[in-house]
Structure 1
Amino acid sequence: MTESALPSFACARYIKEIGRGPHGASALTHEYTYALYEAMLDSRVSELELGAVLLAYRLKGESSDELAAMLCAAHRSFEPLHVQDGREHARPVSIPSYNGARKTPNLVPLLSLLLAREGVPMLVHGVTEDPGRVTSAEIFAELGIAHAASHDEMEDSLASRRLAFAPISVLAPKLARMLALRRRMGVRNSTHTLVKILQPFAEPGLRLVNYTHPEYRESLTGLFTAHPDAASGGALLARGTEGEAVADTRRQVQVDWFHDGRAETLISPEHSQPHAPHVELPEALDAATTARWIESVLRGDVPVPTAVARQVEVIANVVRKPLDNQPNQI
């Protein structure tokens, strides 16, 4: 049955529960949340009801159980990628890149290229453009790394060069449609959280997950702790740099590793210097200038920023560790 032929999905009973505001709203069960979000992804919800649901969750916030159910539906809405192990049997790594840079250079492409050079298969997925920000996609284009235009191109690029950039519209079109609603509604919705915790691989793969506001650290910690399947393959959680999952060159932050149903702090704030050594970053933030600076780092003309080098070391070490009790794939 085609998506357009699927029956419509009535949401009044769900809106009644989640639409009573931050103090009066109730969380839906896993079953109801899954059914609701699946219907939203399948375009079975009317625009009026869809807007009501998105705004209700914007005000209420998602519980860990609701996030887990939404994530399950999200994963089943697209075809996962099959990736060969890198050198020394390194598991693949995914980096969500949906914010870009406004105040500091966007170093997500540098991080991914350094790890790919270590033999770690790297998938960066995100938006291709964002007005007022410099996206990873734009920097990759300046580096001569084309955006994957199909599922096969993603897998081929990961196999041949250990690196691929996947626009979310190619990786997961249904999620991309939900993200695009931000421009119509003016605010983010639950999908903006989901794409940052997405597991895009068929095999266990490590995800870099970042947060900006402390309350998101608490909700994501609750998600990965209460729902081990949500951290399948492992997840590294840390405060992001302008919403991107790359180390801040100005300071060292706490990094937590969620895996095998438990949490482990790999870098503790009490053992971190408040300020990393000064790094000569490019003065301009545009994609072309950032790309040229990244090339100079890769050539060895400019040192790798200390915080980024430490992030590369931690990630490379994690993806070569065996998973003790690998959870079932969502």
Structure 2
Amino acid sequence: MKTLVRDGCPDYSMTDSAAFPCARFIKEIGRGPNGARALTREDTYALYEAMLDNRVSDLELGAVLLAYRVKGETAAELAAMLAAAHRSFEPLHIQNGRDNARPVSIPSYNGARKQPNLTPLLALLLAREGVPVLVHGVTDDPGRVTSAAIFAELGVEASTSHDEIEDNLASRRLAFAPITVLAPKLGRLLAIRRIMGVRNSTHTLVKILQPFAQPGLRLVNYTHPEYRESLTGLFTEHPDAAAGGALLARGTEGEAVADTRRQVQVDWFHDGHAQTLMSPERSSPEAPAVPLPESLDAATTARWIETVLRGEAPIPAALARQAELIADIVRR
């Protein structure tokens, strides 16, 4: 199979496998927000698998992505897509950390635009406590400060292969993996945003991905309330999707790190149970200001993170609580 590179992302040409006709699927999901119908689990799996394998024509692929953009995915459709996504890449094999701590997966696909991106600080705090932490995401996003850029300023280079991800997790309990390295087929579908201008179902899937062969804890975040409902349905109605446990909370500009301005609700889905661990609190005008980096750029944020790790600046209380909660869960 011939492989090209477009916008820094692998662009796989159509395989020799038979093309996958999508008309009957588009007819169901493409009827608009009021008339569209959900596909069966079997049909959803087959469709998304074909999309991952690049067996769907560009015209039909664009139609499917836009149809789901308008309709939204049901919990059952997300479960089927996630199952296909997991079959499309090799999971990571790693050992537990200190005190038998299970690994943690932190998706980072949004970066910072209005607030500092503190996802790298959360990851480093956990790794310092002996928790293996994988941060996976995009390496660049125009107009935003990515975790990849901040990690690079901190001397944590992006892993370039599957083996290197595992080696970094084993040696320093921390790895940043570009999605194009961790799961190339998902990376290809994710990159279509640059062509179409809007996000697609894959942006939701990478945020709920279970990258470990022995399931670890996932931090899952959402921005829009309707996604809280669909993700709650996913984790409660489809226990396999919650394997290893998932912490669900409203994101900070789409990142899974705690919001330093307020406490948001945090729900823990595990072993067929749903448990609210933290309740939402409104920010108070009397609350003391939280010291944060003076600028959003990667270099300034990285230098500030270093001062926090050296103990020269306080850890924001919300992040300290989040790190403590995560460390406690993965050691249970």
TM-score band w.r.t. shorter chain: over 0.9
Cα distance, 1:82 vs structure 2: 0.6
Amino acid at match of 1:59: V
State the alpha-carbon separation in 1 of the partners of residues 58 and 223 from structure 2. 30
2:128 to 97, 117, 120: 117
Structure-2 residue corresponding to 1:324: none
- Correspondence list, 1:307-326, <5 A: 307-321=318-332
State the alpha-carbon separation in 2 of the partners of residues 140 and 24 from structure 1. 45
2:252 to 231, 234, 241: 241
Structure-2 residue corresponding to 1:250: 261
Across the aligned residues of Structure 1 and Structure 2, the Cα RMSD in angstroms comes to 1.2
Structure-2 residue corresponding to 1:215: 226
Amino acid at match of 2:264: V
State the alpha-carbon separation in 2 of the partners of residues 282 and 268 from structure 1. 27
1:150-183 CA distances to partner (integer Å, 9 max, x unpaired)? 0000000000000000000000000000011001
* 2:153 is the counterpart of 1:147: no
* 2:21 is the counterpart of 1:21: no
Structure-1 residue corresponding to 2:106: 95
2:180 to 169, 180, 195: 169
Contact 1:90 1:119 survives alignment (8 Å): yes
Structure-2 residue corresponding to 1:190: 201
Cα distance, 1:274 vs structure 2: 2.8
Amino acid at match of 2:108: S
Structure 1, gaps ≥5 residues long: 322-330
2:65 to 54, 61, 69: 54
Cα distance, 1:277 vs structure 2: 4.1
Amino acid at match of 1:118: E
1:253-287 CA distances to partner (integer Å, 9 max, x unpaired)? 11000000110011112xx4634642111111000
Contact 1:254 1:267 survives alignment (8 Å): yes
SS of the residue 1:197 aligns to:
coil
State the alpha-carbon separation in 2 of the partners of residues 112 and 186 from structure 1. 30
Structure-1 residue corresponding to 2:283: 274
State the TM-score, normalizing by the size of structure 2. Answer: 0.94
Structure 2, gaps ≥5 residues long: 3-13
State the alpha-carbon separation in 1 of the partners of residues 130 and 293 from structure 2. 27
State the alpha-carbon separation in 2 of the partners of residues 204 and 222 from structure 1. 20
1:202 to 213, 223, 231: 213
State the alpha-carbon separation in 2 of the partners of residues 32 and 143 from structure 1. 45
State the TM-score, normalizing by the size of structure 1. Answer: 0.95
1:95-132 CA distances to partner (integer Å, 9 max, x unpaired)? 00000001111000000000000000000000000000
Amino acid at match of 1:226: E
Amino acid at match of 1:204: P
Question: Structure 1 46/168 Cα, relative in aligned 2: closer, same or farther at 3 Å?
Answer: same
Contact 2:263 2:279 survives alignment (8 Å): no
State the alpha-carbon separation in 2 of the partners of residues 143 and 268 from structure 1. 33
Contact 1:64 1:219 survives alignment (8 Å): yes
SS of the residue 2:15 aligns to:
helix
1:157 to 141, 152, 168: 168
* 2:80 is the counterpart of 1:69: yes
Amino acid at match of 2:195: R
Amino acid at match of 1:103: K
1:107 to 92, 115, 118: 118
Percent identical residues: 79
